[in-house]
Structure 1
Amino acid sequence: MGVIDAHDHLFFRSPLLPGQELDDVELARQELAAYAAVGGGTVVQWTPHGLGRRAERLPELAAATGVRIVAATGLHQAAHYSAELAATAATDLAALFVRELTEGIGDSGVRAGLIKVAGGFHALDAHARRTMRAAAEAHHATGAPIAVHHELGTGALDVLDLLCGELEVAPHRVVLGHLNRSPDIVTQTEAARSGAYLAFDGPSRANHATDWRMPDSMAALASAGHADRLLLGGDTTTAGARSVSGGPGMPYLLRRVRPRLEASLGRETVERILTANPARAFAVEWT
């Protein structure tokens, strides 16, 4: 899979981001080409069900740029959806996730490769618990990994208690997103010790004031023996954040973040974080 952006978005549309939709196919192609030009090989798109994934366009984009794309099923926080969709029963959600993982997303012919769900700020509300139960059921049926949005990087241990404790998902099948947004090394270490993967993503966002601490946090985790649990992603969610629209975008991860991390962790460790670790994290382990 080459160098892997472990969490990003080519397409994303939410009522919470009016006027900032990622929905332009040509700009998505240009962004992938820019990412490929700096050495990018694969993008894992975490856009779940109902948020404008445009799965039918992913094959042509991959063919045009040479960048592999992993699509997602799953459900985000309730605020991104209509009340009716947000309230869908766990059994119905699980059936949807399994169908998109095994048969395809709509009529696109594209099968999802991961299940994306989301927690809240320091808590798991009823919606999060319902969607995580559905995700766990779909994981057990298909072997697909579960990727989790953590609001401002919080609640990782609660997620692990639910998914890996009560719902019996193996920790190495869980990817904990946005942990750079809450630089709590104690929580990060405990999460890494569980065997889950920790995604440090969104480093190009100026409004995330903790991002400058990311190299120190990752170096501390690597020194503690958890380098094999670390992932990197860009998490581009708005049109203005794309590099081809004047923002940092996907190339920033390799142009600016990688050299900075190499100074803290060493080139070999960063190479592993960008290649071998995500290749394992997003593998599908059929049961």
Structure 2
Amino acid sequence: MIHTVLGPIEERELGVTLPHEHILVGFIEDGKLTRDDYDRQEVVDHILPYLLELKSVGCRSFVDCSPEYLGRDPYLLRELAEKSGLHIITNTGFYQAPYLSPFVYEIPETELAKLWIREYDDGIGDSGVKPGFIKIALNKGRLNPVQEKIVRAALTTSLETGLPIQAHTNDGIAVMHVLEIMAERHFDPSRFIWVHAQNEKDLDMHELAFKQGMWIELDSIMRWPNEDNCRLLQAFLDRGMKEKLLLSQDLGWYTVGKEQGGDIRPYHKLFTVFIPFAEEWGIDRSVLDSLMSYNPAIALRNRS
């Protein structure tokens, strides 16, 4: 079972999925982003055509990775899901400095987890929308105190709710630290998605995380040259990591504070540009299909 903004669905209903994209992002520091900082109708008007275009090329599900204080809006996502026909999934959790509310630095880990568990149990605010995953971030290198607290709270929340975790990541050293914490907590790494895995160049770190069960997400599609993405994807496949790989773009999005939302990058090109290129480059289409449908359904399923 997977929670979308319109309610729970079965894993088999997820279909072809983009596991890491964004609809709205507001880079306003110290947790000060509010609903008054943007016009929700304007966001709908600008983003809906991109979502309809995405659905027209066969994508069925869209995972929105903007956490609270960085642009999460369950009401906006629900309206876009209703109008686009896509399964849209939102999150609970917090990001990293400087986009954290000041209270996050002071609140104990257990209380932080309770906030996220409450959103899962009761819905986000009064929206009735339940999160389908936990979104956090890792700083570069070994975790600093606030990010370690956030990681530990996310593990607690995952164990209590069954939700998987997606973690914005800058390098493999942070992931190695997370694996240490997981071992200490007897936490199953298969509940955890290493986001932006392409940022780490040492493939031995990816393989180590994979062997412990962690998901590896290559989300630079349409950000990096197609050939570079194919080389990295093939390197992962050559190491036998197909069963734990995810592909996405980390694209969009309506940027709060920019006129008309700024430069919104379309979501459909992974399917219309990259996949044809990858096939021609030599990656089997059945492998690509598995990475875009079967794998996301397993990675995003609720373990409760």
Aligned to 2:206: 188
Which residue of 216, 229, 234 maps to 1:198? 216
Deviations 1:104-133 (A, max 9, x none): 111111000101111111221111110011
Could you tell me which amino acid in structure 2 is paired with residue 251 of structure 1?
Answer: H
2:151 counterpart of 1:132: yes
Is 1:173 paired with 2:186? no
Instruction: Give the distance between the partners of 1:22 and 1:42, measured in 2 at CA.
Output: 25
Residues 167/22 of structure 1: CA separation in 2 closer, same or farther (3 Å cut): farther
**1:144-188 CA deviation, whole Å, 9 max, x = no partner?**
1011110266622222222x2122221111101001122322212
Letter in 2 for 1:230: L
Select 1:216's aligned residue among 231, 244, 258.
Answer: 231
**What CA distance in whole angstroms lies between the structure 1 residues aligned with 2:131 and 2:230?**
31
2:250 maps to what in 1? 235
SS in 2 for 1:225: coil
Q: Relative to 1, partners in 2 of residues 1:36 and 1:280: Cα closer, same or farther, differing over 3 Å?
A: same
Give the TM-score, by structure 2 length: 0.83
Select which of 242, 251, 255 maps to 2:268.
251
User: How has the CA–CA distance of structure 1 residues 64 and 237 changed in structure 2, closer, same or farther, with 3 Å as cutoff?
Assistant: closer
* Aligned residue pair count: 279
Give the secondary structure class of the aligned counterpart of 1:109: coil
Paired residue for 2:33? none
- 1:142 pairs, out of 161, 176, 197, with 161
* Equivalence for 1:60: 79
Cα distance in 1, alignment partners of residues 121 and 155 from structure 2: 15
Q: Is the 8 A contact 1:45 1:71 kept in 2?
A: yes
The answer to whether the 8 Å contact 1:100/1:112 transfers is yes
- Across the aligned residues of Structure 1 and Structure 2, the Cα RMSD in angstroms comes to 2.7
In the alignment, is the contact (CA less than 8 A) between 2:94 and 2:100 conserved in 1? Answer: no
* Further displaced range: 30-39 or 212-221: 212-221
Query: How far, CA to CA, are the matches of 2:48 and 2:195 in structure 1?
Result: 25
Q: TM-score, normalised by structure 1?
A: 0.88
User: Secondary structure at 1:79's aligned position in 2?
Assistant: coil
Identity, in percent, stands at 28
Deviates more, 1:73-82 or 1:124-133: 73-82
2:99 counterpart of 1:80: yes
Equivalent of 1:97 in 110, 116, 126? 116
Unaligned stretches of 5+ residues in structure 2:
1-13, 30-36, 256-260
3-state SS of 1:283 partner: coil
Q: Secondary structure at the match of 2:250?
A: coil
Q: Secondary structure at the match of 1:249?
A: coil
Summarize the Cα distance change of 1:152–1:251 in structure 2 as closer, same or farther, 3 Å threshold. farther
Structure 2 distance, partners of 1:61, 1:154, is 37
Change (3 A) 1:5 1:259: same
Partners in 1 of 2:90 and 2:273 — Cα distance?
26
Shift of 1:246: 5.7
Q: What is the aligned partner in structure 2 of residue 275 from structure 1?
A: 293
1:218 partner letter: L
Contact 1:56 1:107 in 2 (8 A): no
Distance 1:269 1:98, change over 3 A: same
Task: Please list the CA deviations of residues 192-235 of structure 1 after superposition, one character each: whole Å capped at 9, or x if unmatched.
Answer: 222111111133336xxx87532222212222221010001121
Q: Which runs of 4+ in 1 moved over 6 A?
A: 20-23
- Unmatched tracts of structure 1, length 5 or more: none
Pick aligned residue for 1:2 from 15, 19, 34: 15
Kindly name which structure, 1 or 2, has the bigger radius of gyration based on alpha carbons.
Answer: 2
For the residues of structure 2 that align with 1:15 and 1:38, how far apart are their CA atoms? 34
How far did 1:82 drift? 3.3
Counterpart of 1:159?
178
